[in-house]
């Protein structure tokens, strides 16, 4: 509750030193503003969250139960689904970073005209529905898809390659959908980078690679970290793409949650799955924050 | 109607109502048609299905009774639960399948159907198995062998589940439902394993799962919904599907290389069900009496090739129109009815068979890979 202290202090200062009040009369208002935010978040975020916790831990008679938690812990199948979910999200994040950084770098350093084209290339697919994009991959990469037809016709392969309905298909689909979330934060940071700094490094004798590794990369790290955080968070909850492009090894927690909610009306267990997913993502974050600091993790550092 | 005489909406409604009543006469439990008797909301699945319902059911019913019909949907159990939980029930009638009905019954969301309020003559034409306490079967679909007719020209296609399970003789990728099946396809697994269709229930669960283990390596894609299954099939991504037969017929009519083998199919109904707390229960029964009529069902089947539940409907369909329908007398005898009593039975752990097996299905899928 940092906010509360900020609010209280000026109120106290106001009484002892009136000139302060004259200079900064706005300081009294954040209190009200924060109140609004608190009510808003309480109603649309905290309350549903508490309901979710209630579903997960209440038994039908109104008591408290850990039956759902026991079910989650004791079943190997749910562990497998957790591992799949995290594995998929981690690989997606890494691939997005590897593809997204060079693209963002190119966008930041190229001519304004090429930049506009590149930005359009990144943004426009963003406007298409995830479902349509996933289906488009089937047309491209399917057994009788465009790419396989071409490979077969050119004689490079004699049987169609299997791109889809396995982990590869899921990764291709998810990287495609999530790449903009990686590119845009990195690009934003790179655009603000003072171009004099790499130039200075070069003039002092650094090779282009050395200038990049020691100057550009560290300075753009907040963007990269922010991008990774965004992509990872979104990837964890993805289910359309794995359901359409994946095989039986790619069933994620989100698919199971959907099944519990819609087919089985087992909302208590669905709530337990959601909570455990949230807690494990929270744990990953807490670990990350310990390691490199909250500001860097949320990308806030890049903005100051 | 001639446009020269001034006609008010009320007159049209009265006229329509009167003439329809005269035709359908004693079967109706209405005393007198009034111009406006409120509104009922029918929740269905949208698309061509709802359009056809509007044309052959809702509009003629409005004209006959003066009760307005509004459509909404999709009629998912979760949505009904949300309405009931919030105390604002807006739907009267659902068009939905048995698993959803069982789930809703368990959650106390539906009204039992009072069969005494329904027309006996029309009911007798609908097989008894479809007179469920909470749902009256009206549109029949089934889980059938749907295949790509380019890969397997009709005649050389797999003609039994045993052949679907035979990956040596029938090459090609299979697709089975992951989500979107009414229940795990354990019956067809047993049939593939040699159980005769009239001897499927009670299911030998362990034997069925062993047969599923054998199927697994043949499956290219466990599909999430039926539209996807037909899509994969028409594109040739897979060659044999276990999916809804009537959807295969729709695709075939649209020119896709898809055909349906009805042999060994698992028949299941979509039902009319009444929402507990619906605002217009009397009108809801009037609506049911109107739409379970064989002629109305025949008109619907001409537009959407699902199976009419009333055998009377086939008196209004030509042989050609009837040939591809899942409930035509010829096709009906090759198939068996999904046994909801078995699926709905509660085991020692307090779970119904369908809940227990659906969860096992998910775990089997995740763990065995």
Under the banding of pLDDT at 50, 70 and 90, the label for residue A290 is confident
pLDDT tens for residues A189-224? 999 888 888 889 888 988 889 988 888 988 888 889
In DSSP terms, which residues pair with A64 in a beta bridge?
A58
Beta-bridge partner residues of B272 = B95, B136
For the stretch A250-275, pLDDT in tens is 889 998 998 888 877 788 999 999 99
Q: Which residue has the higher pLDDT, A238 or A6?
A: A238
Indicate the pLDDT class of residue B233, thresholds 50, 70 and 90.
very high
pLDDT band (50, 70, 90) for residue A7: very low
Cβ <8 Å between B363 and A75: yes
pLDDT for res B21: 46
- As a whole number of angstroms, the distance between CA B355 and CA B369 comes to 22
Contacts of A165 in chain B (CB under 8 A): 220-221
CA distance linking residue A36 with residue A275, whole number of Å? 27
Span A175-192, average pLDDT: 93
Percent of chain A at pLDDT above 90? 40
- Range B142-267+338-367 has CATH code 3.60.10.10: no
What pairs with residue B221 in β-bridges? B175
Predicted local distance difference test score (pLDDT) of residue A222: 85
Contact B242, B182 (CB under 8 A): no
Q: What is the pLDDT of residues B30-54, one digit of tens each?
A: 444 444 678 999 999 998 899 999 9
* Closest residue on chain B to A243 (Cα): B224
Q: Is the pLDDT of residue B217 over 60?
A: yes
What is the secondary structure of B211-256 as a DSSP string? HHHHHGGGEEEEESSHHHHHHHHHHTS-SEEEEEHHHHHHHHHTT-
Interface list for B 88-127 with A (CB within 8 A) = 99, 103, 106-107
Is the pLDDT at A4 greater than 50? The verdict is no
Q: Which helix (H) or strand (E) holds A106?
A: helix A76-109
Look at residue B182 and give its three-state secondary structure: coil
Lowest mean pLDDT among A159-168, B143-152, B289-298: A159-168
A270 touches B: beta carbon within 8 Å: no
Entry pTM? 0.78
**CB proximity list for A95: less than 8 A, separation 6 or greater:** A171, A175
Q: Do A264 and B355 touch (CB under 8 A)?
A: yes
Q: What is the C-alpha to C-alpha distance for residues A298 and B306, in angstroms, rounded to an integer? A: 54
How does DSSP classify residue A124? G
Q: How far is it, in rounded angstroms, from Cα B147 to Cα B254?
A: 15
**Cross-strand partners of A171:** none
Instruction: Chain A: give the shortest CA distance to residue B251, in Å.
Output: 18
pLDDT digits (tens, 9 = 90+) for B136-184: 999 999 999 999 999 999 899 999 999 999 999 999 999 999 865 677 8
Contact B106 A243 (CB under 8 A): no
∠ CA B182-B95-B179, nearest 5°, is 25
ipTM over 0.95? The verdict is: no
The answer to whether the Cα torsion of B197, B199, B200, B206 is positive or negative is: negative
Q: Where are the domains of chain A?
A: 1-65, 75-303
Interface test with A, best of B150, B221, B356, B366 (most A CBs within 10 A): B366
Q: What is the mean pLDDT of residues B338-350?
A: 88
Contact by Cβ (8 Å): B107, B77: yes
Residue A132 at interface with chain B, using a CB cutoff of 8 Å = no
Buried b (16+ CB within 10 A) or exposed e, B297-328: bbbbbbebbbbbbbbbbbebbeeeebebbbbb
Residues of B in Cβ contact (< 8 Å) with A248: 178, 216, 219, 222, 365-366, 368-369
What is the full DSSP assignment across B249-308?
Answer: HHHHHTT-SEEEEEEEEEEEEEEEEEETT-S-HHHHHHHHHHHTSHHHHHHHHHHS-PEE
Q: How far is B100 from A266, CA to CA, in rounded Å?
A: 13
Per-residue pLDDT at B266: 96
Other C-beta atoms lying within 10 Å of the C-beta of residue B71 = 18
Q: Is B362 on the interface with A (CB under 8 A)?
A: yes
What's the pLDDT tens digit per position in B318-332?
999 999 999 999 999
Delimiting residues of CATH 3.40.190.10 domain(s) in chain B: 9-140+270-323, 142-267+338-367
Q: Which fold has domain B9-140+270-323?
A: D-Maltodextrin-Binding Protein; domain 2 (3.40.190)
Q: Round the average pLDDT of chain A to a whole number and report it.
A: 84
DSSP A252-302: -HHHHHHHHHHTS--HHHHHHHHHHHHHHHHHHHHHHHHHH-HHHHHTGGG
Residue contact B367–A143, C-beta within 8 A: no
If you classify domain A75-303 with CATH, what class do you get?
Answer: mainly alpha
Q: Nearest 5°: phi and psi at A190? A: -65, -35
The whole-number pLDDT of residue B5 equals 46
CA distance linking residue A256 with residue A71, whole number of Å: 14
Any chain A CB within 8 A of the CB of B78?
yes
- Give contacts of B232 with chain A, Cβ < 8 Å: 138
Residues of A in contact with B178 (CB under 8 A): 243, 248, 251
Burial class (CB in 10 A: 0-12, 13-18, 19+), A52: middle
A81 touches chain B (CB under 8 A): yes
């Amino acid at each position: 509750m940092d906010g509360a202290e900020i609010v209280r202090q000026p109120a106290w200062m106001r009484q002892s030193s009136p000139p302060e009040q004259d200079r900064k009369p706005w300081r009294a208002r954040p209190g009200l503003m924060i109140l609004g935010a608190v009510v808003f978040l309480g109603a649309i975020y905290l309350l549903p969250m508490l309901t979710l916790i209630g579903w997960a831990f209440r038994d039908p008679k109104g008591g408290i139960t850990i039956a759902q938690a026991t079910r989650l812990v004791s079943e190997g199948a749910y562990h497998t689904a957790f591992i799949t979910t995290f594995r998929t999200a981690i690989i997606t994040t890494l691939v997005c970073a590897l593809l997204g950084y060079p693209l963002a770098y190119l966008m930041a350093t190229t001519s304004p005209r090429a930049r506009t084209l590149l930005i359009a290339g990144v943004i426009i697919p963003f406007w298409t529905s995830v479902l349509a994009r996933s289906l488009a991959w089937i047309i491209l990469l399917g057994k009788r898809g465009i790419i396989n037809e071409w490979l077969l016709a050119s004689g490079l392969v004699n049987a169609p390659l299997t791109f889809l309905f396995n982990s590869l298909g899921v990764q291709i689909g998810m990287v495609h959908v999530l790449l903009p979330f990686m590119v845009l934060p990195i690009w934003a940071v790179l655009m603000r980078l003072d171009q004099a700094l790499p130039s200075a490094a070069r003039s002092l004798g650094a090779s282009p690679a050395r200038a990049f590794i020691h100057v550009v990369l560290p300075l753009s790290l907040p963007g990269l970290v922010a991008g990774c955080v965004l992509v990872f968070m979104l990837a964890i909850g993805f289910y359309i793409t794995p359901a359409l492009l994946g095989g039986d090894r790619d069933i994620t927690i989100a698919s199971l949650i959907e099944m519990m909610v819609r087919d089985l009306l087992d909302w208590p267990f669905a709530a337990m799955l959601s909570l455990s997913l949230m807690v494990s993502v929270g744990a990953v974050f807490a670990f990350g924050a310990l390691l490199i600091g909250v500001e860097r993790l949320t990308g806030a550092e890049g903005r100051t | 109607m001639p446009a020269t005489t001034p006609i008010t909406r009320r007159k049209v409604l009265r006229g329509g109502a009167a003439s329809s009543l005269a035709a359908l006469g004693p079967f109706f439990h209405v005393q007198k048609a009034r111009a406006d008797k409120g509104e009922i909301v029918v929740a269905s699945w949208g698309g061509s299905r709802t359009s056809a319902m509007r044309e052959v059911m809702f509009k003629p019913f409005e004209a006959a009774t003066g009760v307005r019909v509004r459509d909404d949907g999709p009629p998912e159990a979760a949505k009904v639960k949300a309405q009931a939980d919030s105390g604002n029930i807006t739907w009267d009638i659902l068009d939905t399948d048995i698993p959803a009905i069982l789930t809703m019954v368990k959650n106390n969301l539906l009204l039992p159907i009072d069969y005494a309020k329904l027309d006996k003559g029309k009911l007798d034409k609908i097989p008894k198995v479809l007179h469920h306490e909470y749902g009256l079967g009206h549109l029949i679909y089934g889980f059938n062998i749907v295949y790509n007719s380019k890969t397997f020209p009709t005649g050389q296609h797999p003609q039994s589940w045993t052949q679907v399970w035979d990956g040596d003789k029938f090459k090609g990728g299979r697709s089975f439902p992951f989500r979107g099946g009414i229940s795990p396809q354990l019956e067809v697994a047993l049939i593939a394993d040699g159980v005769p269709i009239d001897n499927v229930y009670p299911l030998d669960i362990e034997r069925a799962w062993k047969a599923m283990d054998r199927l697994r390596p043949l499956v290219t894609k466990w599909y999430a919904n039926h539209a996807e299954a037909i899509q994969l099939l028409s594109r040739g991504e897979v060659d044999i599907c276990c999916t809804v037969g009537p959807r295969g017929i729709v695709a075939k009519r649209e020119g896709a290389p898809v055909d349906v083998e009805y042999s060994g199919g698992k028949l299941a109904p979509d039902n009319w069900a009444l929402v507990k707390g619906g605002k217009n229960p009397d009108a809801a029964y009037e609506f049911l009496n109107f739409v379970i009529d064989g002629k109305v069902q025949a008109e619907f089947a001409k537009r959407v090739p699902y199976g009419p539940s009333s055998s009377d409907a086939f008196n209004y369909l030509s042989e050609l129109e009837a040939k591809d329908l899942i409930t035509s007398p010829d096709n009906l005898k090759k198939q068996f009815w999904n046994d909801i009593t078995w699926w709905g039975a509660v085991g020692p752990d307090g779970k119904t068979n369908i809940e227990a097996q659906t969860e096992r299905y998910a775990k089997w899928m995740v763990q065995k890979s």
